[in-house]
């Protein structure tokens, strides 16, 4: 009788507490993955059942965007929920030595998702590519992560090699052994550690994992057994990536944490044109990585929280900027009020408690061009690469200079083409310029880009000179 009474008291006390436990969070960030790299998005070269499951059982966002067309700035926007233009992180860092010498990293006054969640009781871990600054003050353990296994800079190997740069909690470590002299395959051993770490910290704490292996950035390396004869190694890379995502999801299920875990899957930008002929395209969108047309910034993007965020396809416009404010709401954390956020809290819309926002405005810019989307309308204002190279030749410019480093503010110079207007609801491939037919809409969107410039941190000549060479 006493035992039953004590059990009843224990359940009365503990069940509400368990119900209030914040969900675990796993962000899976693909690298340079083409929009059409998944069987879910139409790929005929490879099947990706595990990523497809996240898309099919979760809420897939057809109008999902990365906040930039290249890796480093895109990750900065995701981590902060703010346009990277606000804090001057708008370009790639270049080689590790260059980035370190010029101290190219995300301003330490910026708040990362990891810092916010860590302060609110989460265990936090990051895997794979960092690319947000290689100096110590910019590294993961100083930006809210309890654990790190990966690389400081923007590029790295899939197999063991000299000076590989692998770090474990900020310290250089040996490459794990594998079945061959090349050592273990990078995405595989990162997954091994992620699974071990989850089991170690759960269920004592909710956990946050930022899983960002190099998959599927070049060099194009995959285990030989995963590459069908005559096919590009990208087929094997996608299979390996999908297999590892399946292992992570299965581990969460085995731990009994599946219903209490949010999975977010997206790519940091669009795929690269050199892979289009091998079946990994951004169709139906034009262009690829580094461009401001849709193929450079529209990405596969899905949210899954079993029983809470699931369904078919999400009808609203979504940005990787939204991840920070949405996860703050999930964790019950308050965002600081001393700064503006460009992302929005999607949680009410994702869970069906409010209508999605379809008329929102999003902006993009860097040296390759500028773009703004508002509802169905999209304005692009791109760099004229022919004029760019003509001026370089004419002026004999091989070293850093304003012409060698186009300033993202300066759309009105001869380096930039005439702005073009598209109706994405009818023309997702951005083939027909409607600026002459709808001049008032074009002018309104140009004004939005001026507003965007005004909120940005001013770019100095010193900043431009520090950028890596084009």
pLDDT digits (tens, 9 = 90+) for 190-214: 999 999 999 999 999 999 999 999 9
Structure confidence at residue 261 (pLDDT): 98
DSSP summary character for residue 358: -
Contacts 24+ apart (CB under 8 A), 37-40: 37/216, 37/234, 37/238, 37/271, 37/280, 37/300, 38/238, 38/300, 40/300
Instruction: Tell me whether strands 147-151 and 167-168 are parallel, antiparallel or unpaired.
Output: antiparallel
Please give the domain boundaries of the chain with CATH numbers for all domains.
23-358 (3.40.720.10), 362-466 (3.30.1120.10)
Region at 121 (left for phi over 0; alpha for psi -120 to 50; beta for the rest): left
Structure confidence at residue 457 (pLDDT): 92
Which among 268, 263, 362, 364 has a CA at the least distance from the CA of 318?
Answer: 362
Degrees (nearest 5) of the Cα angle 86, 35, 273?
Answer: 90
Give strand ranges (E) for 130-206.
147-151, 167-168, 171-172
Degrees (nearest 5) of the Cα angle 128, 295, 53?
Answer: 55
Please give the backbone phi and psi of residue 319, each rounded to the nearest 5 degrees, phi first.
Answer: -130, 155
Structure confidence at residue 17 (pLDDT): 37
Structure confidence at residue 372 (pLDDT): 98
Please give the backbone phi and psi of residue 403, each rounded to the nearest 5 degrees, phi first.
Answer: -70, -35
Give me the torsion for CA of 242, 243, 247, 248, rounded to 10°. -20
DSSP letters spanning 203-260? TTS-EEEEEE--TTPSS----GGGS-TTS-HHHHHHHHHHHHHHHHHHHHHHTT-GGG
Region at 144 (left for phi over 0; alpha for psi -120 to 50; beta for the rest): left
Instruction: Tell me whether strands 24-30 and 261-267 are parallel, antiparallel or unpaired.
Output: parallel
* Exposure letters 407-431 (e unless 16+ CB within 10 A, then b): bbeebeeebbbebbbbbbeebbbbe
Residues of the chain with pLDDT under 70: 1-19, 397-405, 469-470
Distance, CA of 56 to CA of 302 (rounded, Å): 9
Structure confidence at residue 414 (pLDDT): 83
What's CA 117's distance to the chain center, in Å? Answer: 18
Structure confidence at residue 311 (pLDDT): 87
Please give the backbone phi and psi of residue 166, each rounded to the nearest 5 degrees, phi first.
Answer: -70, 130
Structure confidence at residue 469 (pLDDT): 67
**First-to-last CA distance in the chain?**
77
Structure confidence at residue 461 (pLDDT): 76
Give strand ranges (E) for 321-446.
361-366, 369-374, 377-382, 420-423
């Amino acid at each position: 009788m006493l035992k039953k009474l004590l059990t009843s008291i224990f359940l009365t006390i503990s069940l509400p507490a368990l119900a209030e436990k914040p969900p675990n969070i796993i962000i899976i960030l693909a690298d340079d993955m083409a929009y059409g790299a998944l069987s879910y998005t139409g790929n005929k070269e490879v099947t990706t059942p595990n990523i497809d499951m996240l898309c099919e059982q979760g809420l897939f966002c057809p109008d999902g965007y990365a906040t930039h067309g290249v890796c480093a700035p895109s990750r900065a926007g995701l981590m902060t929920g703010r346009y990277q233009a606000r804090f001057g992180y708008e370009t790639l860092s270049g080689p590790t030595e260059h980035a370190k010498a010029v101290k190219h990293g995300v301003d330490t006054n910026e708040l990362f998702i990891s810092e916010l969640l860590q302060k609110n009781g989460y265990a936090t871990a990051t895997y794979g590519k960092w690319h947000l600054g290689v100096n110590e003050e910019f590294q993961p353990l100083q930006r809210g992560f309890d654990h790190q296994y990966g690389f400081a800079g923007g590029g790295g190997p899939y197999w063991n090699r000299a000076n590989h740069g692998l770090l474990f909690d900020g310290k250089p470590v040996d490459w794990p052994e594998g079945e061959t002299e090349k050592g273990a395959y990078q995405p595989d051993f990162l997954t091994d550690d992620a699974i071990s770490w989850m089991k170690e910290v759960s269920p004592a704490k909710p956990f946050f994992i930022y899983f960002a292996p190099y998959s599927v950035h070049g060099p194009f390396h995959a285990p030989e057994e995963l590459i069908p004869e005559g096919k590009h190694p990208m087929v094997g890379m996608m299979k390996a990536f999908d297999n590892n995502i399946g292992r992570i999801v299965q581990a969460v299920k085995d731990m009994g944490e599946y219903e209490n875990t949010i999975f977010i899957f997206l790519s940091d930008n669009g795929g690269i044109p050199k892979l289009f002929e091998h079946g990994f395209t951004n169709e139906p969108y034009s262009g690829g990585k580094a461009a401001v047309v849709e193929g450079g910034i529209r990405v596969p993007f899905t949210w899954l929280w079993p029983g809470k965020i699931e369904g078919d396809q999400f009808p609203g416009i979504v940005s990787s900027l939204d991840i920070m404010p949405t996860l703050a709401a999930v964790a019950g954390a308050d965002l600081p009020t001393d700064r503006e956020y460009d992302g929005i809290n999607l949680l009410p819309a994702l869970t069906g408690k409010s209508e999605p926002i379809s008329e929102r405005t999003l902006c993009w810019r860097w040296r390759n061009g500028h773009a703004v989307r508002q509802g169905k309308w999209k304005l692009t204002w791109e760099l004229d690469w022919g004029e760019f190279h003509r001026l370089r030749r004419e002026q004999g410019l091989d070293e850093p200079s304003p012409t060698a480093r186009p300033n993202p503010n300066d759309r009105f110079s001869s380096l930039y083409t005439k702005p073009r207007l598209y109706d994405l609801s009818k023309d997702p491939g951005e083939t027909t310029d409607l600026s002459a037919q709808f001049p008032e809409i074009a002018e309104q969107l140009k004004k939005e880009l001026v507003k965007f410039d005004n909120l940005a941190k001013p770019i100095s000549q010193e900043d431009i000179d520090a950028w890596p060479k084009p």
